Amino acid sequence: MTGPSGSGPAGFGPPVAGPLGGHGFTVPVLRLGDILLVTLQGELHDGMAEQLQQDITDRIAHTRVTGVVIDISGVDVVDSFLGRVLAEIAAGAELLAARTVLAGMRPAVAITLVELGLTLPGLRTALDVERAMELLTAGERQGEGSP
Amino acid sequence: MQVSVSVSEENAEQEPPAQQVSAFLERRREQVAQRWADAALFRTVFTVSRDEAVEAGRSVAAALAAVAAAGRLDDIRAPGFEAVRDQLGRMAASRGRMGIDTDGLADEVAALREPVTDLLRAEFPDPNAPEAQECVLALTVLMGTLRLVVLETTVSAGEEVIARQREQLHEVATPVIKLWESTVAVPLIGTLDSARSQTVMESLLDAIVAERARYAILDITGVPTVDSLVAQHLMKTVAAARLMGAECIVSGIRPAIAQTIVQLGIDLGTVLTRASLADALAYALSRQGVEIAPLRTDSAGVR
């Protein structure tokens, strides 16, 4: 992995992301109990998406959360790159024993993704964040069974 | 006397044939209208009174005169036609309702040419003079243009009807029904083409958001045939609904269609299917922990 986040030998705590590709901010990753909540807003540049992937994976590894909710209700456009990154985030989280739910996709975005042939198989989806939380906590109560 | 005639003819010769035709139509408008009123087109459309037919003939003759005056004999978009386009459209539509097709209509409009060219020939002392021939030719061209205008009006009216009906079909054919709390269904009726499946997908996804649906049922009882294209549309819709967080069930697969799908080798493995809408609803309800049971007999006795 290349990237400026190698600056943090601190180990624990959120990795400090340096300015990447000219964008001086990153997507916030909030922790709510055992769940990480990531809210994407507006347009997400490729560099930010990659940074986000790295951030989430690090956070899961260091905090041992059991679920990740990615809220994309504020996203108008999901291109093939972002679609792939989302699938990769989910696959990486799965390896670290956390389940990922994609929440709040807009109808127009869903149609575009399907027309692109990106049906994101294997990725859990929910109507909104509330439903996603429900899905994760319900799965927990039933035990560690995969759906 | 001789001299004066030759002078007037010389004057006329200076005018181009289109202008002469225009002047002739203005001058003889009444006679032209009277003759046209007896022609099949006007006679059959205006059956109530002959005056009506004559009035219609007058306005058509006036429009032709205006077009000829503008010198646009062979231009179907000439502004002069605008005044009568509506009227011609109504006449054509009325003939259409009587079972006359476009060919028949074209013949009837062509039949209008004969009486008016006869009148024009009678205007000239010598019908075989080159000048008279030119005028008749100009009038013939003009009448040909009228024929085109009538047909064009008919065709565009037909196209409008088709477009309107297609739109209505789209609206009517894709209702989204709320069957239960968090459960919506789309009963699909008729052939699924790309445009319709797009409409279905859009309205289904909007309904999923509006009703906060967890389960969406696509009922294909009314779809006559399922080929690989239709199957592809179905799978796309299912995938899009899943991306929105709703589980999609395809129901109403008739035995014959099940056979076809198997024989075509279409893989619907990723799609949850049920035989009937009732089965699909039962599945959705059981997944939500809802159970429907008959009322107990003792409670019926209390009532």
Domains along chain A with CATH numbers: 28-139 (3.30.750.24)
Q: How far is B235 from chain A (nearest CA, A)?
A: 9
- Letter for the amino acid at B248? C
* CA–CA dist B102, B107 (Å, integer): 9
* CA–CA dist A29, A39 (Å, integer): 8
Taking residues A58-80, report their average pLDDT: 90
Output the pLDDT for position A1: 42
CB contact under 8 A, A127 and B242: no
In this structure, the strands spanning B177-180 and B183-189 are antiparallel
Average pLDDT, chain A: 79
Output the pLDDT for position A140: 65
Which stretches of A64-145 are DSSP H helices? Answer: 80-95, 107-115, 129-141
pLDDT band with cut points at 50, 70 and 90 for residue A102: very high
Report CA torsion sign: B177, B179, B184, B187: negative
State what percent of residues in chain A have pLDDT above 90. 27
Output the pLDDT for position B230: 85
- What per-residue string of b and e applies to B257-289 under the rule 16 or more CB within 10 Å gives b? beebbeeeebebeebebbeebeebbebbbeeee
In chain A, which residue's Cα lies nearest the Cα of B234? A114
Output the pLDDT for position B285: 93
Task: Give pLDDT tens digits for A111-131.
Answer: 999 988 888 887 899 999 999
In chain B, which residue's Cα lies nearest the Cα of A110? B240
Least confidently predicted of A25-29, A135-139, B187-191: A25-29
CATH architecture designation of domain B12-169: Orthogonal Bundle (1.10)
Output the pLDDT for position A13: 43
What are the tokens at A10?
């601190």
Output the pLDDT for position B213: 93
Strand partners, B217: B185, B249
CB contact under 8 A, B270 and A121: yes
Output the pLDDT for position A144: 43
* CA–CA dist B211, B194 (Å, integer): 25
Output the pLDDT for position B9: 47
Q: Return contacts of A59-65, CB within 8 angstroms, 24+ apart.
A: A59/A14, A59/A29, A59/A31, A60/A36, A60/A92, A60/A93, A60/A96, A60/A98, A61/A96, A62/A11, A62/A12, A62/A13, A63/A31, A63/A36, A65/A31, A65/A34, A65/A35, A65/A36, A65/A98
* CA–CA dist B22, B2 (Å, integer): 26
Taking residues A88-97, report their average pLDDT: 90
Domain B177-287 top-level CATH class? alpha beta
pLDDT band with cut points at 50, 70 and 90 for residue A106: very high
Taking residues A92-118, report their average pLDDT: 91
Residue-level pLDDT, tens digit, chain B, 303 residues: 444 444 444 444 557 888 888 888 888 888 888 888 888 888 888 888 888 888 888 888 888 888 888 888 888 888 888 888 888 888 888 888 888 888 888 888 888 888 888 888 888 888 888 888 888 898 899 899 988 888 888 888 888 888 888 888 776 667 889 999 899 999 988 888 888 888 889 999 999 999 999 999 999 998 888 888 888 888 899 999 999 999 999 999 888 888 888 888 888 877 899 999 999 999 999 998 888 888 877 655 554
Q: Is B202 on the interface with A (CB under 8 A)?
A: yes
Output the pLDDT for position B83: 81
* CA–CA dist B125, A96 (Å, integer): 106
Among B243, B270, B271, pick the best mutation site for testing chain A contact (most A Cβ within 10 A). B243
- Letter for the amino acid at A57? T
Output the pLDDT for position A25: 65
CB contact under 8 A, A127 and B244: yes
The domain spans of chain B are: 12-169, 177-287
In chain B, which residue's Cα lies nearest the Cα of A73? B244
Quick check: A50 and A27 in contact, CB under 8 A? no
Q: Is B207 on the interface with A (CB under 8 A)?
A: no
Chain centroid offset of residue B187 CA:
27
Quick check: A87 and A123 in contact, CB under 8 A? yes
* CA–CA dist B260, B258 (Å, integer): 5
What ipTM does the predicted assembly reach?
0.73
A140 in helix, strand or coil?
Answer: helix
